[in-house]
Amino acid sequence: MENIQTLTQLLRNSGCEYKIFDLGRRILSVENKLFSNVELSQQPYPYPLQRHAHIAIAYWNEEKQPWIWFLKFPLDERGLLKQSDIGNFIKYVVEAMGTRLGGEISEDQEQKLANNPYTFKPSEDKMAVFHSQIRAFLDMQTSQYYEHAQHYFSGGLGWDKWQTVGLQGIADICARINQEQNGVIVRKSLRHIPSEPRYAILGVLEHTDLPDKLSDTLLELAQKECVHNTPDLFLLSAYVRALSGASTSQLNTLVNTILVSPRLSHQEVLIGIAGRSWQVLEDPILAEKYLLRLAQTGNQNLFNQIFADLVMQPALRLVLLPLLHSNPSNDLAAALVSLQQTTKAKAN
């Protein structure tokens, strides 16, 4: 037991296969090698949310029935995992289960393992999407809601008969977006479905790598909303978030359109960009435009929260920090000065 210092070691020693996901902003796969480097403090955690790593670890034996841990670990100011937290969680695991993870788990063992400070419960919608994704990855059977959801999004029920469609069925469709014509079904349905199922499927697509034709359709619908006389800003925000799994060029196109317009740069839309489509801000010019619009909302608390969270993203850190020492526009400069003053006050 003394030799097991990381979760990677524990999982490898168990004889099980495993896969790691981030459950912070989007549900994203984390490569095993990358996670091993993070555990050894060789690189920061790639997708922090509010200075924490929100992790799902799925592991399975030859029967392909996965066990899942949902874990939340604090990160230091550099975005690194604290090795003491990993060590403490491993102690809980070993005390509850031993070092062989692939066997049956009793209720007593489950209770022992659950009684630790590192587990967390994802939101119900995220849980539904995650379970669909892991079942698709392991080629397991879909939920009982899948065929009914397919029937609805194919137009077979009538577009107004959405009330009986379950979120788990929608999640199953999106987890298998490249199978059984699901991409085509979703793409065509988006031109017909009412508001409620539209928001539901856009919410699931936030966690989906999109086929090109589907992302083309989403971009087209989002751009139509942008030029509408009275754009629905909440729907536009949903399109921005849904396009987080599209190509960078498509996301760039939409975010540029939004940031050009003061009317479209509503805080709800800006929150959507930071929350799901933050990778678009790796472009320094776009990042500065974004922060200017955020400053122009006049909501300094929101500006502080989003800046503090974005600057923890390893891919954005070196894009955003130089802005603190540059000469941006007056509105952005004022917001950055206020941010620094607030940060100093908290430090004191």
In a domain, 311, yes or no: no
Burial 225-240 (b: 16+ CB within 10 A, else e): bbeeeebebebbbbbb
Question: Is 14 found in the same domain as 102?
Answer: yes
> pLDDT tens, 310-328?
999 999 999 999 988 887 7
Structural domain ending residue among the three candidates 75, 95, 114: 114
Question: Is 85 found in the same domain as 145?
Answer: no
**Per-residue confidence (pLDDT) for residue 1, from 0 to 100:** 46
Q: How many domains does the chain have?
A: 2
Question: Is 131 found in the same domain as 200?
Answer: yes
Are 21 and 29 in contact by the 8 Å Cβ rule? The answer is yes
> pLDDT tens, 15-72?
889 999 999 999 999 999 999 999 999 999 999 999 999 999 999 988 778 889 999 9
In a domain, 197, yes or no: yes
| pTM > 0.85: yes or no | yes
> pLDDT tens, 289-301?
999 999 999 999 9
Question: Is 189 found in the same domain as 109?
Answer: no
- The helix or strand, by DSSP H or E, that contains position 60, with its residue range, turns out to be strand 52-60
Range of the domain at 34: 7-114
Question: Is 176 found in the same domain as 82?
Answer: no
User: What three-state secondary structure class fits 49?
Assistant: strand
Q: Is the pLDDT of residue 103 over 80?
A: no
Residues 57, 45: Cα–Cα separation, whole Å: 15
Question: Is 130 found in the same domain as 94?
Answer: no
In a domain, 182, yes or no: yes
Joined tokens for residue 290: 């974004």
From the list 249, 178, 238, the residue with the least C-alpha distance to 214 is: 178
> pLDDT tens, 56-77?
999 998 877 888 999 999 999 9
The four Cα atoms 151, 153, 157, 161 give a dihedral, to 10 degrees, of 130
Which residues, including other chains, have CB under 8 Å from residue 290's CB and lie 6 or more apart?
255, 259, 270, 273, 281
- The helix or strand, by DSSP H or E, that contains position 67, with its residue range, turns out to be strand 67-74
Residues 208, 27: Cα–Cα separation, whole Å: 8
In a domain, 312, yes or no: no
Structural domain ending residue among the three candidates 97, 114, 131: 114
Structural domain ending residue among the three candidates 204, 229, 258: 204
- The helix or strand, by DSSP H or E, that contains position 112, with its residue range, turns out to be helix 107-114
Place of tokens 């399975």: 60
Average pLDDT, the chain: 92
Question: Is 107 found in the same domain as 151?
Answer: no
Question: Is 93 found in the same domain as 175?
Answer: no
In a domain, 110, yes or no: yes
In a domain, 324, yes or no: no
In a domain, 166, yes or no: yes
Sheet holding 17-22, edge to edge: 28-30, 17-22, 52-60, 67-74
Joined tokens for residue 1: 């037991």
Question: Is 141 found in the same domain as 76?
Answer: no
In a domain, 254, yes or no: no
Residues 200, 300: Cα–Cα separation, whole Å: 31
> pLDDT tens, 156-171?
999 999 999 999 999 9
Question: Is 74 found in the same domain as 11?
Answer: yes
CA distances from 347 to 52, 154, 337 (A): 20, 56, 15
- The helix or strand, by DSSP H or E, that contains position 59, with its residue range, turns out to be strand 52-60
Percentage above 90 pLDDT, the chain: 79
